[in-house]
Structure 1
Amino acid sequence: MIDNRKMQIDTLRGIACILLVSYHVIGSTPMQGMKISTGLLREINDLFVYIRMPLFAFISGVLYGFRPIRSDYFVFIKKKTSRLLYPLLTVGTLFALLQYYIPGTNGGDIDLKFIHIIPVGHYWFLEAIFLVFCFVVLLEYYKAFDNFFISCFLILICISIYLYGVEVNYFSLSGFVYLLPFFLYGMMTTRYQSFSHKLYLLLLVVSFVFIFKIFIDFDGRAETIIVGFMSCIFLFLLKLRVRILAYIGLYSFSIYLFHVFFTASSRIILNKIGFFDMEIIFLIGLVLGVLGPIVTDKIFSSNTHVKYFVLGK
């Protein structure tokens, strides 16, 4: 049963990785990545914006929910520091420098004076999820999640704060507010494991957001909550076990760290040699964006110091 559960989680991680790599191959905007503004790839990329990062946060919450912290809070935060912030400072800084100095990498807006104070690229997630863990530890200390209904109330408060908007980019505070409801939802799906608990919470959240949306324009944030919550729980309840996705999911953290180095370099090289077939560029970028970090993980894992400071292991 443990093996099946692990394979299910790794499959979800694999799905999240495919969505993430695809997103950066195509580009978050028509001015980035493959620089396409119309067509099927752009439409698909924009469609999954409500699922990609919510799914990563949800999975983190699911895993935490299996083994919530009960004591040794300082040790837990220390471990999360080495797991998340050390790779941020090593890989994230390297990424920023390459973006800043290498033409064609879409890095013209990086200000090195404020590196990591203002998050760099997709590495905002590492800062944001670290803040999520710190916040959750604080709530655990006060036994806030020991009661299902109190936990529901806390999720609604977090959703309310996100819906009203927190535009503070320093240290990824905006990202923290964005990820927190999905992390808590994932945590509660494993902490309170009955199906009725999952259904009740989902209906509560959807109803809550719809009621608020009647009175306030949330500028797309309501759709993020509703679609994100429904997609995450749907994928979780499917209990998918797909070997190739599970294998990719085993390396989800390394894929998150390193995929952009391979997606960007493949696109730049192909364009330099005069190759502009969008579908082929997408497929090559996707494959290299997944396989490249897996190979990198295997190489770096052979060195204790590199494994610790670069991979966070």
Structure 2
Amino acid sequence: MKVKKILSLETLRGWACLLLVLNHLIGEPNVSGLKLPLNNDFYFFNLMLENVRMPLFAFLGGVIFSFRGVSAEQFVAMLKGKYFRLLVPLFVVGPMYLLIHAHVSGVNQHVEVTNLSYYFSVIWQSRFHFWFLQAMFLVFVFHGLCAYISITTKNRYLLATFVGIAVCVFMPTTLVFFSLSGFFFLLPFFSLGCVLGSQNNSEAPLNKKLVILLLVIFSALMLYKFFLLESGANFARNSVMGVLTGFIGCSLFYFSKIKVLPLVFIGKYSFSIYLYHVYFLAIARMLLAYLGVESLLLNLLFGMLFGVFGPMFIEAVLSKNNYTSRIFLGQKSRVKYVEKSA
């Protein structure tokens, strides 16, 4: 069953892509990305949105998941589909990225490689941005297993949300095996998306009072975080305040029902942008460095253009073939039927 595209959700998907690309473009001060000085404004902006950026991807996944859900009878089929969608590209693209990252000058921070297994460790460990693929696979497994619980779908989503909050706040944040800590982090936001999506709010009329209330709360949380970061305190993504900020932020974006066609267009390529934007950010950095361009504004502009539109080009090329589409993009094969002449 094909899920209907909702422009407000696709807009949010595009917005999440821009935040993701900007995050990796800026990188860590003096370490990765543009290697900007410590306490630069762009890095501070990234920190302010840390509790919303990746949770928004998971939240949107939950909303879409709720439109069709999964029954116990569909669990194995769903598992197979998510394996091909999330893990197969990881097996191919992940080691390739680690190889390039370790040996190509200028792509990012330097990495010391002590043995061959490092390049393949991305398959079973949390490495760079690939942690999201493993974590989301585990999220789908969790919700698939919840289908075996004999309660209503709404109550399953609510239960998963409360369980998600508990594991996010109380479980260790250092479990790198198959990105278990990433799974704990994303589960409550995906589950919240399921709860809201199952209420059929996506195409309901705009509730201005609710949006204003969420905006006020979110602004207050951002102000609180601003003063905490200014004082050097930590606003951890797995803290109670971190989860609350993510919940309010995702809900604010969701209920705002903003529709921006350029973001809708970008959102169509969200998975390819997620997988391949880091390659094009590196290309942009190396190209501008070769040309002697040091302007921060130009580095930001070309970095965003390369990081967003480069993966679109990759998808346009790879999606033409069933094998490359399946292996590098996790897309389903397009079966062509040839009508035989009578």
TM bucket normalised to smaller? 0.7 to 0.9
Per-residue deviation, 1:30: 3.9
**Cα distance in 2, alignment partners of residues 55 and 72 from structure 1:** 26
Per-residue deviation, 1:100: 1.3
**Cα distance in 1, alignment partners of residues 181 and 29 from structure 2:** 19
Per-residue deviation, 1:154: 3.6
Is 2:55–2:189's contact at 8 Å kept on the other side of the alignment? Answer: yes
Is 1:139–1:145's contact at 8 Å kept on the other side of the alignment? Answer: no
Per-residue deviation, 1:147: 4.3
Per-residue deviation, 1:39: 2.9
**Cα distance in 1, alignment partners of residues 306 and 143 from structure 2:** 35
Corresponding residue of 1:190: 197
Corresponding residue of 2:163: 157
Is 1:106–2:113 an aligned residue pair? no
Per-residue deviation, 1:241: 1.2
**Cα distance in 1, alignment partners of residues 7 and 103 from structure 2:** 41
Moved more, 217-226 or 274-283: 217-226
Is 1:162–1:177's contact at 8 Å kept on the other side of the alignment? Answer: yes
Corresponding residue of 1:87: 89
Higher helix share: 1
Change (3 A) 1:256 1:218: closer
Is 1:16–1:55's contact at 8 Å kept on the other side of the alignment? Answer: yes
Unaligned runs of 5+ in 2: 222-233, 332-342
What does 1:1-313 align with in structure 2 at a 5 Å threshold? 6-36=6-36, 37-70=38-71, 71-104=73-106, 105-108=108-111, 111-112=118-119, 114-144=121-151, 146-148=153-155, 151-166=157-172, 167-193=174-200, 219=236, 221-313=239-331
- Deviations along 1:226-270, one digit per CA (max 9) or x if unpaired, are 111111011010111111000000000000011000011211221
Per-residue deviation, 1:126: 0.3
**Cα distance in 2, alignment partners of residues 139 and 233 from structure 1:** 23
**Cα distance in 1, alignment partners of residues 168 and 183 from structure 2:** 9
Q: Which amino acid aligns with 2:79?
A: I
Q: Which amino acid aligns with 2:144?
A: V
**Cα distance in 2, alignment partners of residues 126 and 257 from structure 1:** 9
Unaligned runs of 5+ in 1: 211-216
- Deviations along 1:184-207, one digit per CA (max 9) or x if unpaired, are 0001101134699xx8xx99xx9x
Per-residue deviation, 1:143: 3.8
Change (3 A) 1:143 1:15: farther
Is 1:127–1:172's contact at 8 Å kept on the other side of the alignment? Answer: yes
Change (3 A) 1:38 1:174: same
Is 2:318–2:324's contact at 8 Å kept on the other side of the alignment? Answer: yes
Moved more, 186-195 or 52-61: 186-195
Please say which structure displays the higher CA radius of gyration.
2
**Cα distance in 1, alignment partners of residues 33 and 150 from structure 2:** 45
Is 1:164–1:218's contact at 8 Å kept on the other side of the alignment? Answer: no
Per-residue deviation, 1:145: 5.2
**Cα distance in 2, alignment partners of residues 143 and 53 from structure 1:** 31
Task: Tell me which of the two structures has the higher relative contact order, counting C-alpha pairs closer than 8 angstroms and 6 or more residues apart.
Answer: 1
Corresponding residue of 2:338: none
Corresponding residue of 1:213: none
